[in-house]
Amino acid sequence: MSLYITTECINCDVCEEVCPNKAISFGGEIYIIDHNLCTECIGHSDKPACIDICPIDCIKKDPKHVESRDDLERKFVKLQAVNEVD
């Protein structure tokens, strides 16, 4: 399952910097997470870096984009292959 940022976001910018997949960007009012790029940091660390660093706990699992660990691992491998080509 990918993650999303709630409206409690205070735009502190720290989550964008730690995302290894560059899935987080400013969405106009608050930061947003691209579910096509979010792997919950699988392949990079044991837990999502954005959740770990968020000072107000506004990053949650997205029930609209449910993925198994296997799905997230496959997405990680696919993203790594795309990044190697770039």
Residue 86: what pLDDT?
A: 60
Whether the pLDDT of residue 67 is over 90: the answer is yes
Ordered by start, the domain boundaries in the chain are 3-85
Residue 85: what pLDDT?
A: 65
CATH 3.40.1280.10 fits 3-85, yes or no: no
Q: To which residue do tokens 């997949």 refer?
A: 21
Distance of alpha carbon 58 from alpha carbon 80, whole angstroms: 27
Residue 82: what pLDDT?
A: 81
- Where b means 16+ CB within 10 Å and e means fewer, 31-59 reads bebebebbbbbbeeeeebbbbeebeeebb
Structure confidence by residue, pLDDT tens digits, 15-52:
999 999 999 999 999 999 999 999 999 999 999 999 99
